[in-house]
Amino acid sequence: MSDRLDREIDALGLTAADVQGLFDASDALAAQFRLRATLSDPAIPAGSRRLIAHRLFDGRIPAGAADALAAASAASTSAGELERAVERQAVRVTLMRAASVDAVRDELFHVARLVEADPDLQRTLTDPLVEVPARQALVAQILAGRSQPETLTLADRAVLDRGRTIVRTLDEYVEEAAALRRHQVARVTVATPLTGEQLSRLRTQLTRIYGQGIDAEVFVDPEVVGGVRVEVGDDLIDGTVRNTLDDARRLIS
């Protein structure tokens, strides 16, 4: 379903206003179960669901966004699938409209690692008692003057209450950015920055192993002491000194 829907949405040539309209539709779907259940009801023919989507949203969101929502409605067969599909398409088009999708991907990755490394910040950005605008203002402070506009747009979305942690949401955006280039993301943790030659060799080896392009996102963590830790999807390669020491401690404890 995803590839077919991607092609249909891409053919619409959505504008910035359409993207905002899709985000607005995603928010409406998230807030109203009956709405998303109706628009994804498999008992209703796909063509009829398209018509219902237009009847409900035409004039409320831009025409291109309504067309995209109708397409997602026709392609979805559950309330959760529809909500995820609409949000994902808005994220995809946001990334595609960026001057540099690689720059946005890198910035989102580093925001995710900053939040992940700071438990207090993570709690604040996910605290339901903290109003969403206040969380978004905090994200803006973190990114102040150092990011693409699309990075801020997506970071603002990541602090919404959608049943996922902000770190997981940001990492999903990073993976979506890589997927636009048919790449996978390798999350690389090292004690000191890699040289250009080291990073190139690592990418080459990972591309050989996984059979497709690799976007390596490097995070420096002095606590790993030495070596390298690589995560690609559910795979983990941990050759760090810290991991070796932890193994040794477990053996003698």
At position 145, the amino acid (one-letter code) is G
Residue 31, judged by CB atoms within 10 A of its CB (0-12, 13-18, 19+), counts as exposed
Residue 242, pLDDT > 80, answer: no
Span 9-48, pLDDT tens digits: 999 999 999 999 999 999 999 999 999 999 999 999 999 9
Span 129-184, pLDDT tens digits: 999 999 999 998 888 877 899 999 999 999 987 777 899 999 999 999 998 888 88
Pair of tokens at residue 218: 């490097």
8 A C-beta contact, residue 28 and residue 65: no
Higher per-residue confidence, 88 vs 200: 88
Q: Per-residue pLDDT averaged across 61-71, rounded?
A: 97
* Strands 184-190 and 214-220, bridge-based pairing: parallel
Residue 54, pLDDT > 80, answer: yes
Q: Given CA atoms 54, 55, 57, 63 in this order, what sign does their dihedral have? A: positive
Delimit the domains of the chain by residue range: 2-96, 101-179, 184-252
User: Quick check: helix, strand or coil at residue 219?
Assistant: strand
- pLDDT at position 245: 41
Residue 161, judged by CB atoms within 10 A of its CB (0-12, 13-18, 19+), counts as exposed
Q: Given CA atoms 57, 136, 173, 99 in this order, what sign does their dihedral have? A: positive
Residue among 90, 101, 103 nearest 180 (CA): 101
pLDDT band at 8 (very low <50, low <70, confident <90, very high): very high
| % of the chain with per-residue pLDDT over 70 | 94
**pLDDT, averaged across the chain:** 88
- pLDDT at position 246: 52
- pLDDT at position 247: 47
Residue 253, pLDDT > 60, answer: no
Span 209-224, pLDDT tens digits: 888 888 888 888 877 7
